[in-house]
Amino acid sequence: MKTVDLRSDTVTQPTAAMREAMARAPLGDDVFGDDPSVNALQERIAALLGFEAALFVPTGTQSNLCAILSHCQRGDEYIVGQMQHCYRWEGGGAAVFGSVQPQPLAHQPDGTLALADIADAIKPDDPHFARSRLLALENTLGGQVIPLDYLRQATALAHGRGLGTHLDGARLFNAAVAMDAADPQGAARAIVQGFDTVSVCFSKGLGAPAGSALCGPRELIARARRVRKMAGGAMRQAGVLAAAASHALDHHVHRLAEDHALARRLADGLQGIEGLAVVPPHTNIVFVDLTGAARERSADLMAHLREQGVLATGLYRLRFVTHLDVDAAGIDRAVAAIRAFFRA
């Protein structure tokens, strides 16, 4: 029985066509700057999103780290949401490696940070305080699409107060497809307007085996390249990975709409089950809250799903993520397994 792996869109396997593109990729030494596949990808993603330059890195975590440490110096701080990846799930890297202090803020129900909270968090120029240098946002955030008007207002506020702006766009193209399935590249470019830097991940919904890109001004990307070297992220014949990312940009962007449709199929299939509160998905992530007596059965539910070949994450809030290695039959199996558990 094939496993229906809904833990994350990071579990995707390269398609046969992607593997072929990787095998055919012309290679060089990226540390010397002469890997043609890496150079082509960097030029392409920068131009696509409207930036001067880009840097290919192994992971989204390293991309965010390179961004923060290129915007900020020791004793600076970045303003960020409590549930953003670069604050909550990246091991405190900016503080550990760069002595850059995070200033986390609570999210509003739509995933935004209240503009008034951002303004209040910006410190005065006083030796008692860390220097406020950067506003970091994320889109999508837990699968939620952050409104375009809000992004414009937040980045304008930050720039008006002398802060830089960074977007963790690990799932940028999911947000773009949700905004405009006919022209996701145009939508992606609209989303990142107003940001000084943006990180884009190729190894989630786009299905590459590894790799992210940090886009921004040429001078800042040069600083980020130095941080990447210090962080051990300078790869050699990285063109095999860059080729996978380029293939994903060619073939896997528009198809993200299929993942979104499967997430809705899953959410719809779980409606009406007592003890489950399903959060309507914006993109490819479905959250399901266990309520009442169902909370006491959470561990048993997860064990039951594993026995049925369905993988997810969470305890009292379950997370299911659709991706290119999941089809409608797999979603229906997951729904049937959950319904069978609660019937029993």
The pLDDT assigned to 327 comes to: 98
Judge if 168 and 291 occupy the same domain: no
Judge if 57 and 170 occupy the same domain: yes
Judge if 262 and 247 occupy the same domain: no
Judge if 247 and 264 occupy the same domain: no
Judge if 245 and 273 occupy the same domain: no
Q: How far is it, in rounded angstroms, from Cα 129 to Cα 32?
A: 40
Judge if 177 and 319 occupy the same domain: no
Tell me the residue length of the chain: 344
Could you tell me if residue 9 is inside a domain? no
Judge if 178 and 313 occupy the same domain: no
Q: What is the pLDDT along the chain (344 residues), one digit of tens a residue?
A: 899 999 999 999 999 999 999 999 999 999 999 999 999 999 999 999 999 999 999 999 999 999 999 999 999 999 999 999 999 999 999 999 999 999 999 999 999 999 999 999 999 999 999 999 999 999 999 999 999 999 999 999 999 999 999 999 999 999 999 999 999 999 999 999 999 999 999 999 999 999 999 999 999 999 999 999 999 999 999 999 999 999 999 999 999 999 999 999 999 999 999 999 999 999 999 999 999 999 999 999 999 999 999 999 999 999 999 999 999 999 999 999 999 999 98
Could you tell me if residue 6 is inside a domain? no
Could you tell me if residue 7 is inside a domain? no
- Put simply, whether the predicted model's pTM sits higher than 0.75 gets the answer yes
Three-class DSSP labels, 199-266: EEECCCCCCCCCCEEEEECHHHHHHHHHHHHHCCCCCCCCHHHHHHHHHHHHHCCCCHHHHHHHHHHH
The parent domain of residue 22 ranges over: 14-251
Q: How far is it, in rounded angstroms, from Cα 117 to Cα 105?
A: 7
Judge if 152 and 242 occupy the same domain: yes
The pLDDT assigned to 216 comes to: 98
The pLDDT assigned to 161 comes to: 98
